[in-house]
């Protein structure tokens, strides 16, 4: 059995009050609740305040490039599919720089849990607009307000028939722990867009702003109803739903590769001698 202290890492350099603290706390709690030990999981992250995540806990980790969490996570999962793989990304990281990878990770339905620290701003680089910044938001680079409409990640994911789509909120820790556990238990690609107040650079979407808007999906809400899921995903204004918005039962990528049916690639022996006997035959 693991405990919270097993997941203790370096001291975070995030600003006091940052939403990332509760995401980190929720993550550790979820791992402990699932009975996972640090060496049994891999966290892949990119670059951003969110990208520092794995250094502030303890687990196998690949802290790679800005925007490239999902390809790395896909590679890890295909090689060792019994190992839980979690991608921690920023909104700029995953919806901007690496947007293409999101589309294709969803299409593949690789069994990776993607937790997006969505603070609707570029935190690390000190406050530029992100793909989820609300139109009109003023930043140093957009003195007249952001012109482009914000990306709606949930709507996009449901449109691509993503097999698990949820929204969490850093201000609701217990609920977030539940979502993370559900995402890890889910077989297939799981996206949790986590609303994460940035107390320094996003003075629009504050704890107060969210408090007035967020609500939990009703107990009888059916996440397998795709049409209803679209309706809820569109809601991002006066009311913002939290919970598992959409889910389906598509087979994950690893289960569709015959080679991986028996055991993870990393544990399969390489039949060098046998292959050597026949590999050149076709060239004669």
Ligand X SMILES: Cc1ncc(C[n+]2csc(CCOP(=O)(O)OP(=O)(O)O)c2C)c(N)n1
The residues facing 209 across adjacent strands are none
For the record, the structure tokens of 94 come out as: 């995953």
Helix (H) or strand (E) holding 89: strand 85-90
- Rg of the chain in Å (alpha carbons): 20
Q: Do the beta carbons of residue 120 and residue 202 sit within 8 Å?
A: yes
Nearer to ligand X, 176 or 182 (CB): 176
Does residue 19 touch Mg ion according to CB under 5 A? no
Q: Do the beta carbons of residue 164 and residue 186 sit within 8 Å?
A: yes
Q: Which of 91, 172, 193, 254 binds Mg ion (CB under 5 A)?
A: 91
In angstroms, the CA 117 to CA 256 distance is 30
Nearer to Mg ion, 38 or 46 (CB): 46
Does residue 67 touch Mg ion according to CB under 5 A? no
For the record, the structure tokens of 160 come out as: 């691509």
Phi, psi of 49 (to 5 degrees): -60, -35
Q: Which of 19, 51, 90, 131 binds Mg ion (CB under 5 A)?
A: 90
- Out of Mg ion, another protein, ligand X, none, what residue 3 binds, judged by CB under 5 to 8 A for its kind, is none
Does residue 22 touch Mg ion according to CB under 5 A? no
- Out of Mg ion, ligand X, another protein, none, what residue 93 binds, judged by CB under 5 to 8 A for its kind, is ligand X
Nearer to ligand X, 91 or 172 (CB): 91
Nearer to ligand X, 81 or 117 (CB): 117
Nearer to another protein, 89 or 146 (CB): 89
Residues that bind ligand X in the complex, under the rule CB under 6 A? 47-50, 66, 90-93, 117, 119, 121-125, 130
For the record, the structure tokens of 189 come out as: 């690609």
Residue tagged 């059995």 (tokens): 1
- Out of another protein, ligand X, Mg ion, none, what residue 125 binds, judged by CB under 5 to 8 A for its kind, is ligand X
Q: Do the beta carbons of residue 45 and residue 63 sit within 8 Å?
A: yes
Nearer to another protein, 64 or 127 (CB): 64
DSSP 8-class letter at 187: S
Q: Do the beta carbons of residue 93 and residue 46 sit within 8 Å?
A: yes
What letters, b where the CB count within 10 A reaches 16 and e where it falls short, cover 82-92?
ebbbbbbbbbb
Nearer to Mg ion, 124 or 260 (CB): 124
Contact pattern from residue 113 through residue 152 relative to Mg ion, giving x for each residue in contact according to CB under 5 A and a dash for the rest: ------x---x-----------------------------
Q: How far is the CB of 64 from another protein (least distance, A)?
A: 5
- Out of ligand X, Mg ion, another protein, none, what residue 261 binds, judged by CB under 5 to 8 A for its kind, is none
Phi, psi of 164 (to 5 degrees): -155, 120
Residues that bind another protein in the complex, under the rule CB under 8 A? 10, 38-40, 42, 44, 47, 52, 54-55, 58-65, 68, 70-80, 83, 100-101, 103-104, 257-260, 265-266, 268, 270-272, 275-276, 279-280, 283-284
Q: What are the residue ranges of helices labelled H in the chain?
A: 20-33, 69-79, 91, 99-108, 153-159, 173-185, 207-211, 226-234, 272-278
| Interaction site with Mg ion (CB under 5 A) | 90-91, 119, 123
């Amino acid at each position: 059995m693991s405990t919270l202290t097993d997941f203790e890492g370096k001291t975070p350099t995030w600003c006091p009050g940052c939403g990332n603290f509760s995401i980190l706390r929720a993550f550790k709690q979820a791992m402990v609740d699932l009975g996972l030990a640090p060496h049994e999981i891999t966290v892949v992250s990119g670059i951003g305040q969110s990208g520092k995540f794995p250094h502030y806990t303890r687990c196998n980790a690949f802290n790679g490039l800005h925007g490239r969490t999902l390809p790395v996570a896909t590679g890890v999962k295909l090689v060792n599919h019994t190992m839980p793989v979690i991608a921690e990304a920023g909104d700029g990281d995953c919806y901007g720089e690496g947007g293409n990878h999101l589309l294709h990770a969803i299409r593949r339905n690789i069994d990776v849990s993607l937790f997006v620290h969505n603070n609707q701003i570029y935190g690390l680089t000190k406050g530029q607009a992100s793909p989820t910044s609300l139109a009109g938001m003023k930043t140093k680079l957009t003195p007249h307000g952001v012109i482009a409409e914000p990306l709606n990640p949930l709507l996009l994911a449901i449109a691509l028939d993503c097999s698990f789509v949820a929204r969490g909120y850093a201000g609701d820790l217990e609920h977030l722990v539940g979502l993370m556990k559900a995402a890890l238990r889910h077989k297939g690609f799981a996206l949790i867009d986590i609303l994460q107040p940035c107390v320094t650079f996003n003075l629009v979407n504050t704890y107060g702003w969210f408090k007035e808007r967020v609500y939990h999906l009703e107990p009888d809400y059916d996440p397998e109803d795709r049409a209803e899921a679209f309706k809820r995903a569109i809601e991002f204004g006066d009311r913002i739903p939290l919970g598992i918005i959409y889910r389906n039962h598509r087979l994950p990528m690893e289960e569709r590769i015959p080679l991986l049916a028996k055991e993870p690639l990393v544990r399969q022996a390489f039949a060098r001698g046998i292959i050597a006997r026949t590999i050149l035959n076709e060239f004669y």
